[in-house]
Chains A and B, each alone.
Chain A
Protein backbone atom coordinates (compact mmCIF):
# COMPACT_ATOMS: atom_id res chain seq x y z
CA UNK A 1 0.00 0.00 0.00
CA UNK A 2 1.19 3.50 -0.81
CA UNK A 3 0.51 6.75 0.95
CA UNK A 4 -0.30 10.15 -0.50
CA UNK A 5 -0.50 13.65 0.84
CA UNK A 6 -3.08 15.88 -0.80
CA UNK A 7 -1.51 19.33 -0.66
CA UNK A 8 -3.97 22.18 -1.15
CA UNK A 9 -2.27 25.41 -2.24
CA UNK A 10 -3.13 28.88 -3.47
CA UNK A 11 -2.35 27.59 -6.97
CA UNK A 12 -4.08 24.26 -7.19
CA UNK A 13 -3.79 20.80 -5.67
CA UNK A 14 -0.62 18.73 -5.56
CA UNK A 15 -0.42 15.03 -4.71
CA UNK A 16 2.80 13.72 -3.25
CA UNK A 17 3.19 9.98 -2.99
CA UNK A 18 5.46 7.43 -1.35
CA UNK A 19 5.56 3.85 -0.18
CA UNK A 20 5.10 2.80 3.42
CA UNK A 21 8.65 3.84 4.31
CA UNK A 22 7.55 7.45 3.70
CA UNK A 23 11.15 8.53 3.08
CA UNK A 24 11.15 9.17 -0.69
CA UNK A 25 8.40 11.22 -2.30
CA UNK A 26 7.20 12.11 -5.80
CA UNK A 27 5.24 15.24 -6.64
CA UNK A 28 2.28 15.15 -9.05
CA UNK A 29 0.20 18.09 -10.17
CA UNK A 30 -1.02 20.66 -10.04
CA UNK A 31 -4.63 19.65 -10.34
CA UNK A 32 -7.44 22.21 -10.24
CA UNK A 33 -5.22 24.88 -11.77
CA UNK A 34 -6.41 28.36 -10.95
CA UNK A 35 -8.24 27.35 -7.81
CA UNK A 36 -7.26 28.05 -4.21
CA UNK A 37 -7.61 24.62 -2.63
CA UNK A 38 -8.37 25.35 1.00
CA UNK A 39 -8.70 21.65 1.84
CA UNK A 40 -8.79 18.34 0.03
CA UNK A 41 -9.34 14.80 1.24
CA UNK A 42 -9.77 11.29 -0.08
CA UNK A 43 -13.01 9.77 1.13
CA UNK A 44 -11.98 6.48 2.75
CA UNK A 45 -15.41 5.03 2.01
CA UNK A 46 -15.14 5.07 -1.79
CA UNK A 47 -11.78 6.61 -2.71
CA UNK A 48 -13.23 9.79 -4.23
CA UNK A 49 -11.13 12.94 -3.94
CA UNK A 50 -12.99 16.01 -2.70
CA UNK A 51 -11.70 19.57 -2.60
CA UNK A 52 -12.96 22.82 -1.08
CA UNK A 53 -12.13 25.29 -3.83
CA UNK A 54 -12.17 29.05 -4.19
CA UNK A 55 -11.31 31.54 -6.88
CA UNK A 56 -10.90 35.29 -6.36
CA UNK A 57 -13.10 36.01 -9.39
CA UNK A 58 -15.46 33.06 -9.67
CA UNK A 59 -16.31 32.41 -6.04
CA UNK A 60 -16.45 29.38 -3.74
CA UNK A 61 -17.39 25.84 -4.68
CA UNK A 62 -16.31 22.20 -4.33
CA UNK A 63 -14.82 19.71 -6.75
CA UNK A 64 -14.56 15.94 -6.74
CA UNK A 65 -12.61 13.37 -8.73
CA UNK A 66 -13.54 9.71 -8.98
CA UNK A 67 -10.37 8.79 -10.91
CA UNK A 68 -7.63 9.99 -8.57
CA UNK A 69 -7.41 13.45 -10.09
CA UNK A 70 -7.50 12.67 -13.82
CA UNK A 71 -10.84 14.42 -14.21
CA UNK A 72 -12.78 16.70 -11.89
CA UNK A 73 -16.46 17.64 -11.53
CA UNK A 74 -17.65 20.86 -9.93
CA UNK A 75 -20.59 20.74 -7.55
CA UNK A 76 -23.82 22.20 -8.79
CA UNK A 77 -24.50 25.74 -7.59
CA UNK A 78 -23.72 25.97 -3.89
CA UNK A 79 -25.54 28.84 -2.31
CA UNK A 80 -27.23 30.14 0.80
CA UNK A 81 -30.99 30.81 0.91
CA UNK A 82 -32.21 34.33 0.22
CA UNK A 83 -33.94 34.63 3.58
CA UNK A 84 -30.59 34.19 5.34
CA UNK A 85 -29.42 37.47 3.73
CA UNK A 86 -26.03 35.76 3.42
CA UNK A 87 -24.00 34.66 0.43
CA UNK A 88 -21.50 31.83 0.26
CA UNK A 89 -18.03 33.38 0.33
CA UNK A 90 -15.41 30.69 0.94
CA UNK A 91 -15.29 26.89 1.02
CA UNK A 92 -12.96 25.87 3.84
CA UNK A 93 -13.27 22.20 4.69
CA UNK A 94 -14.90 19.09 3.24
CA UNK A 95 -15.43 16.07 5.48
CA UNK A 96 -16.78 12.55 4.88
CA UNK A 97 -19.95 11.71 6.75
CA UNK A 98 -20.29 8.73 9.05
CA UNK A 99 -19.29 5.33 7.74
CA UNK A 100 -22.94 4.24 7.92
CA UNK A 101 -23.94 7.05 5.52
CA UNK A 102 -21.70 6.53 2.51
CA UNK A 103 -23.25 9.27 0.37
CA UNK A 104 -23.15 11.93 3.08
CA UNK A 105 -20.53 14.68 3.07
CA UNK A 106 -20.20 17.98 4.90
CA UNK A 107 -18.76 21.25 3.63
CA UNK A 108 -17.98 24.18 5.92
CA UNK A 109 -16.95 27.71 5.21
CA UNK A 110 -17.61 31.43 5.30
CA UNK A 111 -19.88 33.04 6.54
CA UNK A 112 -20.10 30.53 9.40
CA UNK A 113 -22.11 28.13 7.30
CA UNK A 114 -22.32 24.42 6.71
CA UNK A 115 -23.64 22.35 3.83
CA UNK A 116 -24.62 18.69 3.74
CA UNK A 117 -24.61 16.52 0.67
CA UNK A 118 -26.64 13.34 0.51
CA UNK A 119 -25.48 12.32 -2.95
CA UNK A 120 -21.73 12.05 -2.67
CA UNK A 121 -21.04 15.73 -3.35
CA UNK A 122 -23.11 16.33 -6.49
CA UNK A 123 -25.43 18.74 -4.71
CA UNK A 124 -25.22 20.51 -1.36
CA UNK A 125 -27.97 21.73 0.95
CA UNK A 126 -27.34 24.44 3.53
CA UNK A 127 -27.74 23.40 7.16
CA UNK A 128 -30.54 25.73 8.11
CA UNK A 129 -30.20 25.22 11.85
CA UNK A 130 -26.74 26.76 11.82
CA UNK A 131 -27.80 29.74 9.71
CA UNK A 132 -30.57 30.38 12.23
CA UNK A 133 -28.54 29.61 15.34
CA UNK A 134 -29.77 31.77 18.25
CA UNK A 135 -26.24 32.83 19.18
CA UNK A 136 -25.29 33.87 15.65
CA UNK A 137 -25.39 37.60 16.37
CA UNK A 138 -22.60 37.06 18.90
CA UNK A 139 -20.24 35.50 16.35
CA UNK A 140 -17.40 37.58 14.93
CA UNK A 141 -15.15 36.95 11.94
CA UNK A 142 -11.45 36.35 12.44
CA UNK A 143 -8.81 37.33 9.90
CA UNK A 144 -9.97 34.50 7.64
CA UNK A 145 -13.60 35.54 7.81
CA UNK A 146 -16.35 33.84 9.80
CA UNK A 147 -15.16 30.43 8.77
CA UNK A 148 -16.52 27.00 9.65
CA UNK A 149 -13.19 25.21 9.27
CA UNK A 150 -13.51 22.07 11.39
CA UNK A 151 -16.09 19.30 10.92
CA UNK A 152 -15.70 16.09 12.88
CA UNK A 153 -17.82 12.96 13.06
CA UNK A 154 -18.13 10.84 16.17
CA UNK A 155 -17.17 7.41 14.80
CA UNK A 156 -19.28 5.70 17.47
CA UNK A 157 -22.46 7.72 16.89
CA UNK A 158 -23.72 8.69 13.42
CA UNK A 159 -25.95 11.40 14.89
CA UNK A 160 -23.11 13.24 16.63
CA UNK A 161 -21.26 15.91 14.67
CA UNK A 162 -18.87 18.61 15.87
CA UNK A 163 -18.03 21.84 14.09
CA UNK A 164 -15.79 24.77 14.96
CA UNK A 165 -16.12 28.31 13.68
CA UNK A 166 -13.70 31.17 14.07
CA UNK A 167 -14.74 33.13 16.01
CA UNK A 168 -17.88 31.49 17.29
CA UNK A 169 -16.46 28.44 19.02
CA UNK A 170 -17.17 24.73 19.09
CA UNK A 171 -20.67 23.35 18.54
CA UNK A 172 -22.00 19.80 18.89
CA UNK A 173 -25.02 18.25 17.29
CA UNK A 174 -26.46 15.03 18.70
CA UNK A 175 -29.20 14.80 16.08
CA UNK A 176 -27.36 14.77 12.78
CA UNK A 177 -27.24 18.54 12.40
CA UNK A 178 -30.82 19.44 13.33
CA UNK A 179 -29.68 21.40 16.40
CA UNK A 180 -26.32 22.68 17.64
CA UNK A 181 -25.21 23.28 21.20
CA UNK A 182 -22.23 25.53 22.02
CA UNK A 183 -19.41 23.55 23.66
CA UNK A 184 -17.02 26.17 24.95
CA UNK A 185 -17.01 25.76 28.74
CA UNK A 186 -13.53 26.49 30.01
CA UNK A 187 -12.25 27.85 26.72
CA UNK A 188 -10.89 31.38 26.99
CA UNK A 189 -11.67 34.33 24.74
CA UNK A 190 -8.98 36.64 26.12
CA UNK A 191 -9.86 39.23 23.49
CA UNK A 192 -13.08 39.86 25.46
CA UNK A 193 -11.55 41.19 28.72
CA UNK A 194 -14.97 42.05 30.13
CA UNK A 195 -16.04 38.40 29.84
CA UNK A 196 -13.22 36.06 28.81
CA UNK A 197 -15.38 32.91 29.10
CA UNK A 198 -18.52 33.62 27.07
CA UNK A 199 -20.99 31.01 25.84
CA UNK A 200 -19.85 31.61 22.25
CA UNK A 201 -17.32 33.77 20.46
CA UNK A 202 -14.21 31.66 21.07
CA UNK A 203 -11.65 31.61 18.30
CA UNK A 204 -11.04 27.94 17.64
CA UNK A 205 -8.27 27.45 15.11
CA UNK A 206 -8.59 23.67 14.72
CA UNK A 207 -10.72 20.97 16.32
CA UNK A 208 -10.15 17.20 16.15
CA UNK A 209 -11.93 14.19 17.64
CA UNK A 210 -9.72 11.27 18.55
CA UNK A 211 -10.70 8.42 16.21
CA UNK A 212 -10.15 5.65 18.78
CA UNK A 213 -11.52 7.48 21.82
CA UNK A 214 -14.25 9.72 20.44
CA UNK A 215 -15.21 11.34 23.71
CA UNK A 216 -11.75 12.96 23.66
CA UNK A 217 -11.45 16.18 21.66
CA UNK A 218 -8.45 18.42 21.10
CA UNK A 219 -8.43 22.00 19.98
CA UNK A 220 -5.79 24.54 19.06
CA UNK A 221 -7.33 27.87 19.87
CA UNK A 222 -6.31 31.50 19.44
CA UNK A 223 -6.05 31.45 23.24
CA UNK A 224 -4.41 28.14 24.08
CA UNK A 225 -4.34 24.41 23.48
CA UNK A 226 -7.22 22.44 25.02
CA UNK A 227 -8.42 18.89 25.59
CA UNK A 228 -11.90 17.65 26.43
CA UNK A 229 -12.62 14.15 27.76
CA UNK A 230 -16.39 14.53 27.83
CA UNK A 231 -17.42 15.19 24.23
CA UNK A 232 -16.73 18.90 24.53
CA UNK A 233 -18.83 19.53 27.64
CA UNK A 234 -15.77 20.88 29.48
CA UNK A 235 -12.27 21.80 28.36
CA UNK A 236 -8.87 21.88 30.07
CA UNK A 237 -6.19 24.35 29.00
CA UNK A 238 -2.88 22.58 28.49
CA UNK A 239 -0.01 24.91 27.69
CA UNK A 240 2.47 26.40 30.14
CA UNK A 241 4.22 23.05 30.54
CA UNK A 242 6.72 23.01 27.72
CA UNK A 243 4.94 24.90 24.96
CA UNK A 244 6.58 28.25 24.10
CA UNK A 245 3.18 29.72 23.23
CA UNK A 246 -0.47 28.80 23.32
CA UNK A 247 -1.04 30.43 19.93
CA UNK A 248 -0.96 28.34 16.79
CA UNK A 249 -3.16 26.91 14.11
CA UNK A 250 -2.68 23.24 13.15
CA UNK A 251 -3.14 20.11 15.20
CA UNK A 252 -2.43 16.42 14.64
CA UNK A 253 -3.18 13.28 16.66
CA UNK A 254 -1.87 9.74 16.91
CA UNK A 255 -4.74 7.54 15.70
CA UNK A 256 -3.79 4.70 18.09
CA UNK A 257 -2.74 6.64 21.18
CA UNK A 258 -5.31 9.13 22.52
CA UNK A 259 -2.70 10.68 24.84
CA UNK A 260 -0.46 11.78 21.99
CA UNK A 261 -0.94 15.03 20.06
CA UNK A 262 1.12 17.46 18.00
CA UNK A 263 1.01 21.25 17.64
CA UNK A 264 3.12 23.91 15.94
CA UNK A 265 3.06 27.02 18.12
CA UNK A 266 3.65 30.49 16.77
CA UNK A 267 5.10 33.40 18.74
CA UNK A 268 1.68 34.93 19.19
CA UNK A 269 -1.26 36.59 17.51
CA UNK A 270 0.78 39.70 16.75
CA UNK A 271 3.77 37.84 15.24
CA UNK A 272 2.63 34.70 13.48
CA UNK A 273 5.87 32.79 12.92
CA UNK A 274 7.39 29.79 14.61
CA UNK A 275 9.23 30.81 17.78
CA UNK A 276 13.00 31.12 18.24
CA UNK A 277 13.64 31.38 14.50
CA UNK A 278 13.19 27.68 13.81
CA UNK A 279 10.51 25.25 12.73
CA UNK A 280 9.60 22.94 15.58
CA UNK A 281 6.79 20.53 16.27
CA UNK A 282 5.70 19.97 19.87
CA UNK A 283 4.45 16.55 20.95
CA UNK A 284 2.74 15.40 24.09
CA UNK A 285 2.75 11.76 25.26
CA UNK A 286 0.65 12.40 28.34
CA UNK A 287 -2.53 14.08 27.12
CA UNK A 288 -1.04 17.54 27.34
CA UNK A 289 0.59 17.43 30.77
CA UNK A 290 3.97 18.03 29.13
CA UNK A 291 5.29 18.82 25.66
CA UNK A 292 8.60 18.02 23.95
CA UNK A 293 10.20 19.82 21.02
CA UNK A 294 10.84 17.77 17.86
CA UNK A 295 13.43 19.21 15.46
CA UNK A 296 15.36 16.32 13.88
CA UNK A 297 15.23 17.02 10.15
CA UNK A 298 13.35 20.31 10.42
CA UNK A 299 15.08 23.58 9.42
CA UNK A 300 16.73 25.25 12.36
CA UNK A 301 16.86 28.70 10.80
CA UNK A 302 13.29 29.30 9.77
CA UNK A 303 10.45 31.71 10.38
CA UNK A 304 7.67 29.46 9.17
CA UNK A 305 3.90 29.50 9.34
CA UNK A 306 1.66 26.47 9.12
CA UNK A 307 -1.99 27.16 8.52
CA UNK A 308 -4.91 25.54 10.33
CA UNK A 309 -5.29 22.74 7.77
CA UNK A 310 -1.54 22.41 7.34
CA UNK A 311 -1.01 19.30 9.48
CA UNK A 312 -2.19 15.72 9.15
CA UNK A 313 -1.51 12.15 10.26
CA UNK A 314 -1.85 8.77 8.63
CA UNK A 315 -3.12 5.42 9.89
CA UNK A 316 0.12 3.44 9.48
CA UNK A 317 2.17 1.98 12.31
CA UNK A 318 4.17 3.93 13.39
CA UNK A 319 1.97 6.90 12.58
CA UNK A 320 3.22 9.38 10.02
CA UNK A 321 2.87 13.10 10.77
CA UNK A 322 2.73 15.67 7.97
CA UNK A 323 3.02 19.45 7.80
CA UNK A 324 3.05 22.02 5.00
CA UNK A 325 4.39 25.55 5.34
CA UNK A 326 3.15 28.77 3.80
CA UNK A 327 6.56 28.90 2.11
CA UNK A 328 5.74 25.75 0.14
CA UNK A 329 7.58 22.91 1.87
CA UNK A 330 6.03 19.63 2.97
CA UNK A 331 7.74 17.84 5.85
CA UNK A 332 6.97 14.24 6.74
CA UNK A 333 7.79 12.26 9.82
CA UNK A 334 7.43 8.50 9.29
CA UNK A 335 8.11 7.77 12.97
CA UNK A 336 5.62 9.75 15.07
CA UNK A 337 7.62 12.97 14.90
CA UNK A 338 11.03 11.64 15.95
CA UNK A 339 12.59 12.49 12.58
CA UNK A 340 11.48 14.46 9.53
CA UNK A 341 12.21 14.55 5.80
CA UNK A 342 11.38 17.34 3.37
CA UNK A 343 9.06 15.64 0.91
CA UNK A 344 8.51 18.67 -1.38
CA UNK A 345 9.66 22.26 -1.60
CA UNK A 346 8.90 25.39 -3.65
CA UNK A 347 5.23 24.56 -3.90
CA UNK A 348 2.83 27.52 -3.87
CA UNK A 349 1.61 28.71 -0.48
CA UNK A 350 0.30 25.61 1.30
CA UNK A 351 -3.19 25.88 2.71
CA UNK A 352 -3.77 22.25 3.66
CA UNK A 353 -2.24 18.80 3.85
CA UNK A 354 -4.21 15.59 4.22
CA UNK A 355 -2.65 12.13 4.30
CA UNK A 356 -4.48 9.18 2.79
CA UNK A 357 -3.98 5.68 1.45
CA UNK A 358 -2.95 5.61 -2.21
CA UNK A 359 -2.92 2.61 -4.49
Chain B
Protein backbone atom coordinates (compact mmCIF):
# COMPACT_ATOMS: atom_id res chain seq x y z
CA UNK B 1 0.00 0.00 0.00
CA UNK B 2 1.27 3.45 -0.92
CA UNK B 3 -0.36 6.87 -0.58
CA UNK B 4 -0.72 9.12 -3.64
CA UNK B 5 -1.01 12.84 -2.84
CA UNK B 6 -2.39 15.23 -5.43
CA UNK B 7 -2.21 19.02 -5.85
CA UNK B 8 -5.42 21.02 -5.60
CA UNK B 9 -6.58 21.05 -9.23
CA UNK B 10 -6.12 17.32 -9.57
CA UNK B 11 -7.88 16.78 -6.26
CA UNK B 12 -10.91 18.72 -7.52
CA UNK B 13 -10.90 16.63 -10.70
CA UNK B 14 -10.73 13.50 -8.55
CA UNK B 15 -14.01 14.39 -6.87
CA UNK B 16 -12.48 16.42 -4.08
CA UNK B 17 -10.06 13.71 -2.94
CA UNK B 18 -6.38 14.64 -2.73
CA UNK B 19 -5.20 11.42 -1.10
CA UNK B 20 -5.52 7.88 -2.41
CA UNK B 21 -4.33 4.66 -0.78
CA UNK B 22 -3.47 2.24 -3.57
CA UNK B 23 -2.00 -1.22 -3.91
CA UNK B 24 0.78 -1.04 -6.48
CA UNK B 25 4.23 -2.42 -7.17
CA UNK B 26 5.61 0.58 -9.08
CA UNK B 27 5.11 4.32 -9.32
CA UNK B 28 3.45 3.93 -12.71
CA UNK B 29 1.02 1.36 -11.38
CA UNK B 30 0.16 3.59 -8.45
CA UNK B 31 -0.49 6.63 -10.65
CA UNK B 32 -2.56 4.50 -13.01
CA UNK B 33 -4.89 3.58 -10.17
CA UNK B 34 -6.15 7.09 -9.46
CA UNK B 35 -9.09 8.71 -11.27
CA UNK B 36 -7.03 11.50 -12.89
CA UNK B 37 -4.58 9.26 -14.69
CA UNK B 38 -5.53 10.86 -18.01
CA UNK B 39 -4.32 14.22 -16.69
CA UNK B 40 -0.97 12.76 -15.64
CA UNK B 41 -0.30 10.69 -18.77
CA UNK B 42 -0.93 11.49 -22.44
CA UNK B 43 -2.60 9.04 -24.81
CA UNK B 44 0.74 7.27 -25.39
CA UNK B 45 1.12 6.58 -21.69
CA UNK B 46 3.90 9.16 -21.38
CA UNK B 47 3.99 11.24 -18.22
CA UNK B 48 3.18 14.83 -19.20
CA UNK B 49 6.42 16.84 -19.21
CA UNK B 50 5.42 19.31 -16.49
CA UNK B 51 4.10 16.65 -14.11
CA UNK B 52 6.78 15.81 -11.55
CA UNK B 53 6.61 12.83 -9.20
CA UNK B 54 8.27 12.45 -5.82
CA UNK B 55 8.61 9.13 -4.00
CA UNK B 56 9.15 9.72 -0.31
CA UNK B 57 10.38 13.26 -1.10
CA UNK B 58 12.85 12.19 -3.79
CA UNK B 59 12.07 13.03 -7.40
CA UNK B 60 11.69 9.93 -9.53
CA UNK B 61 12.20 9.88 -13.29
CA UNK B 62 11.90 6.12 -13.57
CA UNK B 63 8.22 5.35 -13.21
CA UNK B 64 9.03 1.67 -12.96
CA UNK B 65 10.66 2.33 -9.60
CA UNK B 66 9.37 -0.05 -6.93
CA UNK B 67 7.21 1.43 -4.21
CA UNK B 68 7.60 -1.51 -1.83
CA UNK B 69 8.34 -0.16 1.61
CA UNK B 70 7.67 3.43 0.56
CA UNK B 71 5.18 5.74 2.21
CA UNK B 72 3.96 8.29 -0.30
CA UNK B 73 3.99 9.41 -3.89
CA UNK B 74 3.49 13.14 -4.28
CA UNK B 75 2.45 14.65 -7.63
CA UNK B 76 3.77 18.17 -8.18
CA UNK B 77 3.14 20.64 -11.02
CA UNK B 78 6.53 21.89 -12.23
CA UNK B 79 7.47 25.53 -11.78
CA UNK B 80 6.53 26.77 -15.22
CA UNK B 81 3.63 29.10 -14.62
CA UNK B 82 3.75 32.59 -16.02
CA UNK B 83 5.05 31.62 -19.42
CA UNK B 84 3.21 33.36 -22.21
CA UNK B 85 1.04 30.77 -23.88
CA UNK B 86 -0.23 31.94 -27.26
Contacts and interface: CB of A to CB of B under 8 A. Distances in A.
User: Do chains A and B stick together as partners?
Assistant: yes
Interface of A: 33-36, 55-59, 61, 74, 76-80, 82, 87-88, 143-145
Contacts of B43: 77-80, 82, 87-88
Given A57-B78, A58-B51, A74 B42 contact: no
Helix, strand, loop or mixed for chain A's interface? Answer: loop
Interface string B60-80: 000000000000000001101
**The 4 residue pairs across chains A and B that have the minimum distance between CB atoms:** A79-B43, A58-B39, A77-B38, A34-B9
Interface in B27-54: 36, 38-40, 42-44, 48, 50-51
24 contacts: A33-B9, A33-B12, A34-B8, A36-B85, A55-B39, A56-B50, A56-B80, A56-B83, A56-B85, A57-B50, A58-B9, A58-B10, A58-B36, A58-B77, A59-B39, A59-B48, A77-B38, A78-B38, A78-B43, A82-B43, A87-B44, A88-B42, A88-B43, A143-B86
Contacts of A82: 43-44
Contacts, number: 54
Nearest to B7: A57
A41 B86 CA distance: 22
A342 to B, nearest CB: 26
Contacts of B78: 57
A36 B44 CA distance: 23
Given A55-B9, A57-B50, 13 more contacts: A34-B8, A36-B85, A56-B85, A58-B36, A58-B39, A59-B38, A59-B48, A61-B38, A77-B43, A80-B43, A82-B43, A87-B42, A87-B43
Q: Say which size band chain B's interface belongs to.
A: 20 to 34
- Dominant secondary structure at the B interface: loop
Given A34-B9, A143-B86, A76 B80 contact: no
Contacts of A34: 8-9, 12
A138 B44 CA distance: 26
B13 A59 contact: no
Among A57, A76, A77, A88, residue most surrounded by chain B Cβ atoms (within 10 Å):
A57
A58 to B, nearest CB: 4
Nearest to B48: A59
A77 B13 CA distance: 13
B59 to A, nearest CB: 16
B34 to A, nearest CB: 13
B48 A58 contact: yes
B86 A57 contact: no
Contacts of A80: 43
Contact of B48 (A57, A76, A78, A79): A57
Contacts of B86: 143-145
Given A56-B85, A74-B13, A82-B44, A61 B50 contact: no
Contacts of B48: 57-59
A273 to B, nearest CB: 16
Nearest to A58: B39
Nearest to A144: B86
A246 to B, nearest CB: 22
Contact of B77 (A57, A74, A87, A145): A57
A33 B77 CA distance: 15
B12 A58 contact: no
Contacts of B81: 56
B13 to A, nearest CB: 6
Contacts of A58: 9-10, 36, 39-40, 48, 51, 77
Question: Which of B39, B43, B77 is the most central at the interface, judged by chain A CB atoms within 10 Å of its CB?
Answer: B43
